[in-house]
Amino acid sequence: MEPGKPPRWDALDPAEVPGHGLTVKGGPTSRELGSALELMFKHQKAAAFGIASYPAGRDSDWRTLGAVHNLIRAVMACLKTRPIA
């Protein structure tokens, strides 16, 4: 990593997102990251979530799509329990 520049990688382990080129060996699974997102989205100030990219052409066994689904499901499950402000 270059000083003063943001890191250029994602968080998930390549075993779970083989179609993505920016992974972290030994990184969390999508379920582990989903648990962290659930904690964050319990707070009203957490108002947005996004997936920056999905490499559909390199996801032949749909594992990467499954990981994306796990993250979205975790956020949505938590949002359903929040009171409407």
pLDDT of 65 strictly over 80: yes
Integer Cα distance of 78 and 62 in angstroms: 25
**What is the per-residue pLDDT across 48-60, written as a single tens digit (0 to 9) for each?**
999 888 888 999 8
Beta-carbon-side half-sphere exposure of residue 29 (alpha carbons within 13 Å): 6
pLDDT tens for 30-42 read 999 999 999 999 8
Mean pLDDT of the chain: 85
Q: How far is residue 38 from each of residues 24, 44, 67, 71, measured CA to CA in Å?
A: 21, 12, 15, 9
